[in-house]
Chains A and B, each alone.
Chain A
Amino acid sequence: MKRTSSSIFSNVSGIFAIVLMGFPVYWMVTTSFKPKGDILSTNPTIFPHSFSLSNYVEAITKEGFSKALMNSVIVVFFTVIISLFVALFASIAVARMKFKGKRIYVASILLVQMLPLSALLIPLYLLLSKLNLTDKLAGVVLTYIAFILPFVVWTLRGFLVNIPTELEEAALVDGCTKPQAYRLVLFPLMAPGLVATAIFAFIQAWNEFLLAYILLSSQDKATMPIWLAGFTNRFGTDWGPLMAASTLTAIPVVIFFSLIQDKIATGVTAGAVKG
């Protein structure tokens, strides 16, 4: 008796949460497919009754779309490749080797994650302008790498720790050198973790707004989030095209994210419950 009443309560709360949490996303997608007249109405209807792609056409043909898409792809590509490469080396050292100063290294990696990004904007801006890297994609990539790196090192370390060392030791006994043991035994086992971490880095770089907003000033350097912020001007906001553009920006993240979310969630908690 008690069991059923508590599960009814859970189910009702669950449905309530689904509606409440899902509504903004639902409203974004349905608005994006509404014709202008339906959007600019004082009596909006929850369920759309007509369908139009005009917002998408307007968003895609809006000035700067293809450029922003291109810039975002460039920034994301270099950020992911470089940070993964650098972090892979570091995570092997942290997870598999004993060395003096490891504690300090780990502490600084974690401390850096706690640095509020907005507090570092001032010196970062001044530093990059001295290096002549403001308003250049390279400057943005450089800062993204540094900000993503600690998380990537920490996550890869998590995946590595879960691979038993006995496997490499067996390879060493069988006559492999240490680099061979890593290449032939460790890396293949790590592949899923590497992919998950790469996707995570991709999402971070794709979504980042603040640094790009400060560092990039000219319009043809804008990344996707900056382009999105540009829908509001002194005359107001074009809600239909903005919702279409938002949907387009979210789609790649949703696809990639749904592939890795279980790994990220357990990654955060696994070590904690065990430790």
Chain B
Amino acid sequence: MNPRRFKPWPYLLIAPSLLALGLILGFPVYKLISLSFERYGLAEIIAGKGVFVGLDNFKETFTDPEFWKILERTLLFTLGMVSVSIIVGAWLAHLMVKMHPGIRNVLNGVLILVWAMPQLVSISVWRWLFSFDFSIVTALVNSLGFEMDNHNYFVNTLSGFLIIGGCVAWGALPFITISIYAALTQVPKDLIEAAEIDGANPRQVFRNIILPMLLPVYIILISLSTIWDFQVFSHIWIFLDSRPSAEYYTMAIYAFQKSFGLSEYGKGAAISLIMIFALIGVTGYYLRQMMRMGDE
């Protein structure tokens, strides 16, 4: 067996997947980049090709004060949802270790039930919880002595974003909690016992044994949550009846409105591209970590 002989098998095996990814993801990425340098509106759609305008789309985006507001809002919203879901998830997972097995199993079941909820189902249910008419939350608030009948929670953007973020975090929490709990149970018991015999207190055990072993899991979960939460679209879109007002724009909604609402596809593409680069910057570490695993 000559190890230097060219072996076609691996390439044949990955070819179909490369073809699918190239056509449906690779080409659109290329197209997104080229679109971002073009003026591409209704006239250009009919003509079938855009007009090259250099960096105009980026220039206009970066000089638009609206853009910076939206970027800041998106980052804040993402940061809020990621930190709340990771902190609550981690806290719950660590408590689960000490819980009565019965309570733990019920909690596990509830988490799996929530995890399984399709996105559109969870959005629908949350809209019902906070609906304008006859919502249970309004009734509960009323029963505490407030007068809130027919309160529209989305007139105030803060309460609107809290509800939307709550719905996103509710949907994300099960995955985070169960993943951390699963990782916690994989920490070898004898390692902890050995440390305890050597006189380590619970805090030292946590800091020197449990935390280092869980660190990769936390990094993966934080990165994934960031990717997911940064591009939240459907929640905002549907909570606000498919026509969110400008105060509710996040990057994803902004790019969508620019292209499908105003037919300025070039500008929408530029915004999308900025979004992708922002995400790659934030989650670069995750990628490197995963690549190391792929090498094994």
Q: Are A120 and B32 in contact (CB under 8 A)?
A: yes
B-side interface residues toward A, CB under 8 Å?
7, 9-14, 16-18, 20-21, 23-25, 27-29, 31-32, 35, 45, 92, 95-96, 98-100, 103-104, 106-107, 110-122, 124-129, 131, 133-134, 136, 139, 142, 149, 170, 173-175, 178-179, 182-183, 186-187, 213-214, 216-217, 220, 227, 230-231, 233-234, 238, 241, 252, 255-256, 259-260, 265, 268-269, 272-273, 275-276, 279-280, 283, 286-287, 290-296
Q: Does A99 contact B (CB under 8 A)?
A: yes
Q: Which residue of A lies closest to B233 (CB)?
A: A118
Q: Are A28 and B115 in contact (CB under 8 A)?
A: no
Q: Are B128 and A243 in contact (CB under 8 A)?
A: yes
Task: Please measure, in the bound complex, the distance between the C-alpha atom of A197 and the C-alpha atom of B95, giving whole angstroms.
Answer: 30
Partner of B186, one of A14, A118, A269: A269
Q: Are B275 and A119 in contact (CB under 8 A)?
A: yes
Task: Please measure, in the bound complex, the distance between the C-alpha atom of A14 and the C-alpha atom of B17, giving whole angstroms.
Answer: 44
The B-contacting residues of A in range 110-140, CB under 8 angstroms, are 110-112, 114-127
Given contacts A93-B14, A99-B11, A275-B293, contact A268 B95 (CB under 8 A): no
Partner of B275, one of A15, A116, A262: A116
CB distance from B33 to the nearest CB of A (A): 9
- Return chain B residues, CB-CB under 8 Å to A271: 293
Partner of A123, one of B96, B131, B269: B269
A-side interface residues toward B, CB under 8 Å?
6-7, 9-11, 13-15, 17-18, 21-22, 24-25, 27-28, 31, 39-44, 46, 86-87, 89-90, 92-94, 97-99, 102-103, 105-112, 114-127, 142-143, 145-147, 149-150, 153, 157, 161, 203, 206-207, 209-210, 213-214, 224-225, 228-229, 231-232, 236-237, 239, 242-243, 246, 249-250, 253-254, 257-258, 261-262, 265-266, 268-273, 275
- Return chain A residues, CB-CB under 8 Å to B21: 108-109, 112, 146, 149-150
Partner of A89, one of B17, B275, B291: B17
- Return chain A residues, CB-CB under 8 Å to B98: 6-7, 10
Q: Which residue of B lies closest to A228 (CB)?
A: B120
Task: Please measure, in the bound complex, the distance between the C-alpha atom of A242 and the C-alpha atom of B148, giving whole angstroms.
Answer: 24
Partner of B128, one of A13, A27, A108: A27
Q: Are A24 and B129 in contact (CB under 8 A)?
A: yes
Partner of A243, one of B18, B103, B120, B125: B125
Most chain A CB within a 10 A radius of its CB, from B14, B27, B260: B14
- Return chain A residues, CB-CB under 8 Å to B121: 28, 228, 246, 249-250
Given contacts A14-B95, A123-B32, A272-B217, contact A118 B252 (CB under 8 A): yes
Given contacts A119-B272, A149-B21, contact A21 B170 (CB under 8 A): yes
Interface SS of chain B: helix, strand, loop or mixed?
A: helix
Given contacts A269-B183, A270-B186, contact A149 B20 (CB under 8 A): yes
Q: Which residue of A lies closest to B223 (CB)?
A: A114
Given contacts A106-B291, A118-B231, contact A145 B128 (CB under 8 A): no
Closest 7 CB pairs of A and B: A146-B24, A106-B294, A119-B272, A123-B31, A123-B28, A257-B116, A99-B10
Ordered by A's residue number, 10 sampled pairs between the chains whose C-beta atoms are within 8 Å are A22-B110, A42-B149, A87-B17, A93-B13, A103-B295, A157-B294, A243-B125, A253-B117, A258-B112, A262-B182
- Return chain B residues, CB-CB under 8 Å to A229: 120, 238
Partner of B139, one of A22, A43, A108, A253: A43
Given contacts A27-B128, A115-B25, A209-B234, contact A44 B113 (CB under 8 A): no
Q: Which residue of A lies closest to B23 (CB)?
A: A146
Task: Please measure, in the bound complex, the distance between the C-alpha atom of A250 and the C-alpha atom of B118, giving whole angstroms.
Answer: 6
Q: Are B255 and A13 in contact (CB under 8 A)?
A: no
- Return chain B residues, CB-CB under 8 Å to A21: 107, 110-111, 114, 170, 173-174
Partner of B296, one of A46, A86, A122, A275: A275
Q: Are B252 and A116 in contact (CB under 8 A)?
A: yes
- Return chain A residues, CB-CB under 8 Å to B111: 21
Q: Are B24 and A145 in contact (CB under 8 A)?
A: yes
Given contacts A119-B255, A122-B272, contact A42 B129 (CB under 8 A): no
Q: Are A24 and B126 in contact (CB under 8 A)?
A: yes
CB distance from B253 to the nearest CB of A (A): 8
Given contacts A122-B35, A124-B24, contact A225 B119 (CB under 8 A): yes
Q: Are A258 and B127 in contact (CB under 8 A)?
A: no
- Return chain A residues, CB-CB under 8 Å to B214: 273
Q: Are A257 and B112 in contact (CB under 8 A)?
A: yes
CB distance from B262 to the nearest CB of A (A): 12
- Return chain B residues, CB-CB under 8 Å to A272: 183, 216-217, 220, 293
- Return chain B residues, CB-CB under 8 Å to A261: 112, 115-116, 178
- Return chain A residues, CB-CB under 8 Å to B7: 97, 99
- Return chain A residues, CB-CB under 8 Å to B106: 14, 18
- Return chain B residues, CB-CB under 8 Å to A106: 291, 294-295
- Return chain A residues, CB-CB under 8 Å to B174: 21
Q: Are A232 and B134 in contact (CB under 8 A)?
A: no
